[in-house]
Amino acid sequence: MMRVLHVCSEIFPLLKTGGLADVTAALPPELDKEGCDVRMLVPGFPEFKHGIFDQHLVAELPAKFGARSVKLMFGKMPDTGIPVYYIDAPDLYDRQGNPYNDQNGQPYADNHLRFALLGWCAARIVEGFDWFWKPDIVHGHDWHAGLAFAYIKALEWNSGQRAVGTVFTVHNMAYQGNFPAYVFSELDLPFSMLNPDGIEFYGQVSFLKAGFYYADKVTTVSPTYAKEIQHGEQSCGLEGIVQFRSNDLVGILNGVDTSQWNPKKDSNIEASYSVRSMTGKKKCRLALQKEMGLDLQADKPVFCVISRFASQKGLNLVVEGMNAIIANGGQAVIMGNGERWLEEQFENFARDYPGQIAVRIGYDEMRAHRIFAGSDVVMVPSRYEPCGLVQMYGSLYGTLPLVHRVGGLADTVTDCTLENLAEDKATGFSFDQFDVRAFESAVLRAFALYGKPSKWRKVQKRGMLQSFGWSHSAEQYVSLYKQIKIR
């Protein structure tokens, strides 16, 4: 049985700031079904300390990186029972604010130390600090886990032999964990690693680059994104190292947890429904309109946005193109938060068009389910999108995705062209040019198709029948693990 250690900073339902938490919650249980012995390693944020059950001490570790007390604890995740190590280091992790930023929204000044400790502890587990379990594979997620691969490589340099197979998954190239070069002296790594053939990145220390450089294999969360990051804007300045590792770069599409996202079984929505009977979706639509204060109408589509309000998400196109929805009698439900100017723009639309536009600032998981179930079109016009889960949730709920054709959006949505409609391949609407004219054209095509109920239902059902579960992705990861496992 292959032993796999996942290293990450958040796991749903205990701690979630984005899609990463959904992935780290769903993938390990699926790997378990594939016969892997999976464990996880996370920082000891309060949400983990209070949410993990059956806890016990594994090891007392030396004071490190400004933490006077460091303990490696062990327990299990609620619901799935997946085993989890967490690092109990109150000096670094017991803080107000979210895991990465203080109460003013500013990154913690010692984030380099907080996540260096996460990587360092991964190397200690590889080294055998848990007498009863050592991994065959260490699989780290995003920049927070990037330094784990540097510490493991340093361990291997000291011993003169490979210690473990390693996989680094990049969920978003834009978030790199870059810090001033002077912090390198605090990281307890060989000085030879601070160079362009290592973790140095234009005079900075880059946790993301450490993962790219030192892991055996690098994955991205969709095949198209794996191609996009090798050049141009999507590489975020790292095209050199990405191209250098291109032979070891693999795109594996994320899945969704269909035990949580399934309109046939979802207890969060007004009425259940399925491909065979869509009556419940009509009830969900009516319930959503009532909940959000919208006019009760059924002859025009309800559009929705469930997103972080960030420039990456392309919501400026929604702001600029909202009049196309309003002028044609459509409705829109917007939920999320982030950049204040976007919050204000959406709030202005809700104030000016109270029967057509509804806005909720903030994120509510249960309301998200209700919005997916009650809407007709989910808009995901991202400037770039490594994978995206929202469009998959939409498809499974019979809510047609409207997307910019990039990254995972290109891999999961087939446009409603005449040819694709005729061949029963269409699952949504997509546009190529990142501008408001292209976005509005896709919106108008959604209105046109909605006016043809039989064709609309055909596309709905095609989307709902897609297989977005984790089983195929888990099989691909297991195959990758086998390639690098030390015999």
CA dihedral sign, ordered 46, 51, 56, 59: negative
Q: What is the pLDDT of residue 327?
A: 98
- Per the CB < 8 A criterion, the answer to whether 355 and 295 are in contact is yes
| pLDDT one-digit tens code per residue, 371-395 | 999 999 999 999 999 999 999 999 9
Take residue 198 and report the two structure tokens written for it. Answer: 């290592």
DSSP 106: P
Is residue 341 within 8 A of residue 275, CB to CB? The reply is: no
Q: Which residues pair with 42 in a beta bridge?
A: 86
Of 76, 173, 164, give the one whose Cα is nearest residue 125: 164
Contact status, residue 307 vs residue 336, Cβ threshold 8 Å: yes
Place of tokens 């007390």: 69
- Return d(Cα 26, Cα 36) in angstroms, integer: 14
Residue 16 assigned ligand-binding role: yes
What does the alpha-carbon distance between residue 455 and residue 457 come to, in Å, rounded to a whole number?
5
Q: Are 448 and 422 in contact (CB under 8 A)?
A: no
Spatial distance between the Cα atoms of 278 and 454, rounded to a whole number of angstroms: 13
CA trace torsion 339, 343, 345, 346 (10° rounding):
140
Ranges of the chain whose pLDDT falls below 50: none
* pTM, full prediction: 0.92
The Cα 292–Cα 332 span in angstroms is 10
Domains of the chain: residue spans and CATH:
3-255+471-484 (3.40.50.2000), 279-464 (3.40.50.2000)
Query: What was the pLDDT predicted at 159?
Result: 93
Give the per-residue pLDDT at 54.
Answer: 97
- The DSSP symbol for 58 reads E
Residue 12: CB atoms within 10 Å: 19
* Cα atoms found within 13 Å of the Cα of residue 147, Cβ hemisphere only: 28
